[in-house]
Amino acid sequence: MKPSLLATLSFFLFALTTYFPLSSTQDIDKVKDTDGDPLIPGAKYYILPTTSGPEAGGGVKLGKTIDQKCPLTVLQDYSETFIGLPVKFNVRDSKDFITVNFSDIDIEFDMKPECAHSSKWVLIKSYTYLQRWISIGSIEDVEASYGKVINGVFNIEKHGLGYKLVYVIDGGGSNDIASYIDVNGRRLVVPDEFDTFEVKFVNANGNGRYVV
């Protein structure tokens, strides 16, 4: 290869890496918190609505609903001043980051009630409530509340001003997580007829707040 051609190619490659750094292309599809930082699996975050005001409500928490002796139901608090309980996102593969649409994740609260075996979020259905909804706990916990676990995995997708949580049922397609009025808060459910719960993620490391 002629020296002049080699020099031209070297300059071209240098220009590409200078003006289009690899890091910028790698960050495009990462889910980010309100500080603009990628979500870190295992770190603590608050899940909050993207908009503010009385109608928007506050963060997520646990509460008792019909036929429950233990607060297992995942609810969004009615008060916009309630920041909620911290959660952790755990990626099912070996990635050290969470991507939009393509990361299969488990969600769990950083703290659980003593009466529950697990703080992991699960989708359940029962004969005592018309909608499928998000609960925590083991199969034993769910069965004690007359429910049945629907197997699947969570995804995070972009939506409006922020993101939405999606539950992908094994062999049954994806379902947006919505919030539905209940006695102790807005129950997180997965029907199609309710508005999608549009969310943002706030870094909670170092300043946890636990209210059940």
35-73 pLDDT tens trace = 999 999 999 999 999 998 888 999 999 998 877 889 999
Mean pLDDT over the full length of the chain: 84
pLDDT in tens, 147-206: 899 999 999 999 999 999 999 999 878 899 999 888 788 999 997 677 899 999 999 985
Structural tokens at position 5 = 């051609």
Q: Where are the beta strands (DSSP E) in 68-128?
A: 73-76, 87-91, 105-109, 121-126
What per-residue confidence (pLDDT) applies to 128?
Answer: 78
> What percent of the chain shows pLDDT beyond 90?
59
What per-residue confidence (pLDDT) applies to 67?
Answer: 73
Separation of alpha carbons 183 and 84, rounded Å: 17
Higher pLDDT, 11 or 121: 121
pLDDT in tens, 77-91: 999 999 999 999 999
What per-residue confidence (pLDDT) applies to 15?
Answer: 45
Separation of alpha carbons 115 and 132, rounded Å: 22
What per-residue confidence (pLDDT) applies to 12?
Answer: 43
Least confident range from 109-113, 153-157, 193-197, 207-211: namely 207-211
Higher pLDDT, 201 or 207: 201
Instruction: Give 93's DSSP letter.
Output: S
Compute how many other C-beta atoms are within 10 angstroms of the C-beta atom of residue 48: 23
Structural tokens at position 42 = 């295992």
Pair 33, 203: CB distance under 8 Å: yes
What per-residue confidence (pLDDT) applies to 62?
Answer: 96
Q: How many CA atoms lie within 13 A of 106 on its CB side?
A: 15
- 26, pLDDT greater than 80: no
